[in-house]
Amino acid sequence: MSAELLINITPRETRVALIENGMLQEIFIEREHSRGIVGNIYKGRVSRVLPGMQAAFVDIGLERAAFLHASDIISSSLIHAPEPPATPADVSANTSSGNANVPPVNITRLVREGQHLLVQVVKDPLGTKGARLTTQISIPACYLVFLPSGSGVGISQRIEDTELREQLRAMVLTMPSIAEPNADVPCAPRTDSSDNTPAPIDGQIGRGGFIVRTAAETASAHKLNADVVFLRKLWQTIQQTVKTADAPSLIYGDLPLLLRTLREMVGTDLDRVRVDSRESYRRMMDFTETFVPEFSSRIEHYPGERPIFDLYSVEDEIERALKRRVDLKSGGHIVIDQTEAMTTIDVNTGAYVGHRNLEETIFKTNLEASQSIARQLRLRNLGGIIIIDFIDMVDPEHRRQVLLALEKSLDRDPTKTQLSELSSLGLVQMTRKRTRESLGHVMCDPCHVCSGRGYTKSAQTICYEIFREILREARQYDTNELLVLASREVIDLIVDEESANFSELERFIGKPIKLQVDAQYFQTQYDVVLM
């Protein structure tokens, strides 16, 4: 499989397209005014504690307070605030759950309002929701991820070779930078519950833990050791910054999309990277020559006059990815609707009539749709709960093969997915991890005509609303005549199809009604003016 990255740079926007076998698979967009913040580390202030939700809202300096759940708090890195007495509601809830002898978990033992915390963003703000936080800090490099509050060495689940996993674990554990006695580094700084300043760091608490990334499969011991040294120096710098920083404030910002993409692509089967900015090309070369020299030969500057995204019709693919309907080669199609609660995908045979019988036609359509759905999830970056409505199949073997085809197509998706069985109604429930906004949310705003519903009132509905408004105005006010201002579609409907009803209305109120088209009005806009 051939794969390459196309990077388009403009002064206020960076776009990265992942092309596999000549087809766009993923698109990443980062704009100057709305850069992603996943991976950023902040010194935040707890603004509100919600015991009923076992969560807290933390001010990290953004427009909306970020969300921190009790399960994402490392209690060992904090001094517990005094626990308030249990309320009758707490006792009742605990008893009803069958755990009357187990004291209820209370987030007020972990944090309190006004407390300062060192937190990291794990999910960007999505829609009306604030960012999701954790106190489990993790700092990635090309081959390793450093966990200051962790211990030991973990191996990426994508490295399946058992022997290789043990070799990598042993390699990291025996490195001089880890094995030497003075290699201990302190864990995450605690926060004193008596005031809002970080408590003194307990030296020699632990060495920290490491996760070996998939990219390390072919990495040498020297490169892994360089990552260890770099990550520990970076963590020490972060700790020094925390001591003097106010809350809320940004302590550490992750790499920009341009370099972050390179870091994530190390170790993948990427043939080349082409970027259309000479300055960005130099930045990328400096980064790779410092951290991954073997990757430098794959980076190219694209000087062509033809826009780089036109090489593989990326712009056209992006336009299609913003539409609800996706046509299949066979003549069928799928319809994708993204709502706040979930994303629904409906499969239809459309113009495809098959060559044998109905069951075979449905089976072929569902098979083709399963591959298209997996690609569209990546391309549109759809996450959360996803419901797929396949066309009903009678043959159990066909149902099994469609689900198997969907699973196989999803295996190529680097984002974590979880798939359920095909239900008796032909529905598949699945989840896809969501850490950033979907393509539609990044590139589009809710329609100001329909308020994002995706539909508007028909011209006939507006026509009848106008008739009711005329009656209301005529009864309430004494006037000689009335003037209706509306869009051309509505006025044309009144003059043509509704002319008889309009004339009857004029006779009923005993006053003339003038009609006037206003080119500035949308179909749902109108005014009834007293003359």
Q: Tokens for 67, please give them.
A: 């969300």
pLDDT value of residue 238: 93
pLDDT value of residue 180: 53
| Strand partners of residue 346 | 335, 389
**72: which DSSP letter?**
G
Cα separations (Å) of 21 from 5, 171, 222, 379?
Answer: 12, 35, 34, 15
Q: List the domain boundaries for the chain.
A: 1-35+256-321, 65-252, 323-440, 459-530
CATH 3.40.1260.20, applies to 459-530: yes
List of the chain residues with pLDDT < 70: 75-105, 177, 179-207, 352-356
Cα separations (Å) of 201 from 55, 187, 209?
Answer: 26, 8, 18
pLDDT value of residue 179: 57
Burial label, 389 (beta-carbon count in 10 A; 0-12, 13-18, 19+): middle
Assigned fold of 65-252: Ribosomal Protein S5; domain 2 (3.30.230)
- Residue in 104, 114, 294, 290 with CA at minimum distance from that of residue 215: 294
Where in 295-373 does DSSP place strands (E)? 299-301, 325-327, 333-338, 343-348
Angle subtended at Cα 368 by Cα 366 and Cα 371, rounded to the nearest 5 degrees? 105
CATH code reported for the domain at 1-35+256-321: 3.30.420.60
Cα separations (Å) of 141 from 36, 74, 227, 291?
Answer: 18, 23, 6, 9
Q: Tokens for 469, please give them.
A: 């408004």
Q: Tokens for 517, please give them.
A: 């088209």
Q: Tokens for 320, please give them.
A: 């299609």
